[in-house]
Chains A and B, each alone.
Chain A
Amino acid sequence: MMPSQSIWMIRSSLIYLLVSVSVGCLILMQKAVDLHPFIWALLPAHYEMAIWGWVVQLAMGTAYWMFPRRLDEPKRGPLWAGWSIFILFNTGLVFLIISTLFRSLIYTAIFGRTLILIAILIFAILMWQRIVTYRKHH
């Protein structure tokens, strides 16, 4: 069954998909019809949301759910680690998106990327232990 951490990661990724595509649609229409010049300023946020928010987060949520579970408890690693991935990644991404809208906020981008890096390191450690085969146990 799908764990709560995966559910929240995948829900968040769907929200980022919707927001990113909404912004992308505005940018596309801006090319043909002059809606508002500010729309072009949303282009970096559109990239970040599409790649990190949608694709990367959906892959992480699905991998956390579907990879082989450990034979001992906790089956998917410590619960706090799973929740840390979700909270750190999404908090970091919000800071990163804000930084793309206000170019003067250099430290906001660094802070956001640091949180995302920590989240991905925790994810890599958890997943590393689950890249296994149980064929020898049968």
Chain B
Amino acid sequence: MPTTTRWFIRSAVIYFVLGITLAFLAEFPSITGELSLLPIYWHMLVMGWITQLIIGVSVWMFPRKHRDKKARESFLVWSAFWTLNIGLILRFLSEPFIPAITDNQVIKISIVLSAILQWIAVLFYTIEIWPRLQNRKKRRSAKA
């Protein structure tokens, strides 16, 4: 299992536990108060858990197009890992406070930056995986 895969899966498991914990806590409004937790735990589960697990397993299992260009592929995958996780952390630290704090510039910048980082991560992942989707005929012609 490649290092990037292990990092993606470990991160995914952390988000899985956090997402389930927040979903549990959201059942107790006396604890959570005005915090908006519904979009947080949904995105922890769908982006943090399921999507990161898919990314981690697919960069490991999907056939590589260029076995001799691992460095370039690793750069894209590592970039996807860091942009996605920094984006998610910024989001989860700022989004719950939006309903309570409307005019805080730090929260606004954090939200916008988080959105851009998540989008870049998905773009990096797509650029990495797209060329690996090849059937036998195309792979043979690429090798020749």
Q: Which residues of A contact B (CB under 8 A)?
A: 1-4, 7, 10-11, 14, 17-18, 21-22, 24-26, 28-29, 31-33, 50-51, 54-55, 58, 62, 66
Contact = CB atoms under 8 A, between A and B. Distances in A.
A10 B133 CA distance: 8
Query: Which of A11, A25, A62 has the most C-beta atoms of chain B within 10 angstroms of its own C-beta?
Result: A25
B111 A32 contact: yes
B124 to A, nearest CB: 11
B122 A21 contact: yes
A36 to B, nearest CB: 15
Interface of B: 46, 50-51, 54, 58, 61, 63, 91, 95, 98, 107-108, 111-112, 114-116, 118-119, 122-123, 125-126, 129-130, 133-136, 139
A33 B50 CA distance: 28
Query: How would you classify the secondary structure of chain A's contact residues: helix, strand, loop or mixed?
Result: helix
A28 B139 contact: no
Contact of B129 (A14, A51, A54): A14
A79 to B, nearest CB: 13
